[in-house]
Amino acid sequence: MNIPLSKQELHNLAMNHVGKDLESRGFEFIAVNSKLKKNPQFVCIDKNKQYYFVIVKAILLPENPNNYDLVWMAKFKQHAKSHDSKVLYAGVGLANSENKNKPVYLNKDYFIEYNGIQVIDDNLN
C-alpha cells in the first residue's frame, strides 16, 4: 500500500537534503529546528564565525521551489540582522517520480529539484 508523505515528512526530507549540502560546504550547525512554519530551520556558522539563518521550504512541483514570499522575507531579514546573522534560502521541489500528479510516497522513488542555497542579500527590498 502506498502511503503519502505528510507535510512534515516532506519538510524533513527537504531538510535532510539541505543539511547535507550545508555540511559539505563546511558549515557548523549551532541549532536545528525541524518543525513546520518555525524559522529558521538551521542556525549555522562558517569558518569566519559568521552566523547564518537558513530557511528550508519543501515545495510540491510543478511550483517553483526558488520563489519565496518577499514581504515575509523582508521581515525575517530584519530579525536576522538584529542577531548579526545572514539569511540563506533553500527551496526544495519534490514530486512523485512516476507520476507528478500523485503524492510523494513513503519508501518510493521521488524526483527532487534543488538549485542550491540562495543568499538573501540584506540590501534587497
Residue 94 lies in domain:
7-120
pTM (2 decimals)? Answer: 0.91
| Residue 121: predicted pLDDT | 81
Whole-angstrom distance, CA of residue 104 vs CA of residue 47 = 36
* 125 is a domain residue: no
Q: How many domains does the chain have?
A: 1
* 2 is a domain residue: no
| Residue 123: predicted pLDDT | 61
Whole-angstrom distance, CA of residue 59 vs CA of residue 55 = 13
* 1 is a domain residue: no
Q: Could you tell me the CATH number of the domain that includes residue 30?
A: 3.40.1350.10
* 66 is a domain residue: yes
Whole-angstrom distance, CA of residue 101 vs CA of residue 60 = 10
* 88 is a domain residue: yes
Q: What string of pLDDT tens digits covers the 125 residues of the chain?
A: 799 999 999 999 999 999 999 999 999 999 999 999 899 999 999 999 999 999 999 999 999 999 999 999 999 999 999 999 999 999 999 999 999 899 999 999 999 999 999 999 866 43
